[in-house]
Amino acid sequence: LTNPEASRLVEAVMRDHFDHWLSGDPAAANLLLAYALERSEERLRRRKEKEVKRKTATRRTRLPGKLADCSNKAAEGTEIFLVEGDSAGGSAKQARNRKTQAILPLRGKILNVASASSDKLRDNQELNDLVQALGCGTRGRYDENALRYERVVIMTDADVDGAHIASLLMTYFYREMPDLITNGHLFLAQPPLYRLTQGDKIAYARDDDHRDELLQGDFKGKRKVDISRFKGLGEMPAVQLRETTMDPKKRVLLKISIPAGEEANTARRVEDLMGRKPETRFSFIREHAGFVSDLDI
């Protein structure tokens, strides 16, 4: 039916009826349009991937210039920290173990791949740098054996902006490198938001609840407690960043995983919250607004 003669005949018979059906059922029309756009972008993406694969097949891997790589060549025992901005990147580079820890600074909020076109994704320099640094490819070209690090650690500020950037990065890995999550390579760092001092006693709190827990526990008493809030990772001295967030012996890492049996719910939630339809986000906020006690904006 794709030859010119058949196409003209089919169009003559179907066009008016099809237009009438689309006008009478907007919901179905929108679903059909979204499906067609998704398939079109997928074809363009695959075509571009083939072109890139041909161009790079005979070239040596070139790493991003802003990557501070670790000295170990084997992936086992190594990790790469994805940090927001050059300021935090500078502190992290000073705090790291140069043998096993690499640092890749990312500029600003990265692209939301759940709502971006394939062209925008392909042309985004920050994401291209990330793919080059990891070395494992994306989607159908993902190669577990080519992954250059055992752990990929998202390390952002402990505030709402940092949470937003972390959400964008997790969305990227979920859409473009799902096997990275399935195989247990993706982690979230837990940097502190507060520093509590009482005489010689010092502790760090990762959020408001943890701060209150410390005040009612280790710091309970009559002596004054000085509380300072970190504006970002970039303002933390390298020693503090290493002790609280990067030292494997002292830090806390959250492993990103998808619970067994929740694959469909996860896919739907990511699409609802990060996808192209703002009405689904509005519905989620309206349904869950009653559970919010403190709003950080």
- Catalytic positions, please? 84, 157, 159, 161
**Burial of 192 from C-beta contacts in 10 A (0-12 / 13-18 / 19+):** buried
Residues forming beta bridges with residue 194, ordered by sequence position: 205, 229
> For residues 91 and 233, is the Cβ–Cβ distance under 8 A?
yes
DSSP symbol at 111: P
Alpha carbon 52 to its chain centroid, in Å, reads 23
| Distances 269 to 31, 163, 231, 279 between C-alpha atoms, Å | 18, 17, 30, 13
Residues forming beta bridges with residue 152, ordered by sequence position: 80, 186
Numbers of helices and strands, H then E, in the chain: 11, 8
Per-residue burial over 34-64, b = 16 or more CB atoms within 10 Å of its CB, e = otherwise: eeeeeeeeeeebeeebeeeeeeeeeeeeeeb
d(CA 219, CA 198): 7
Look at residues 127, 123, 105 and name the one whose alpha carbon lies nearest to residue 175.
127
Strand pairing report for 79-84 and 101-106? parallel
d(CA 264, CA 284): 17
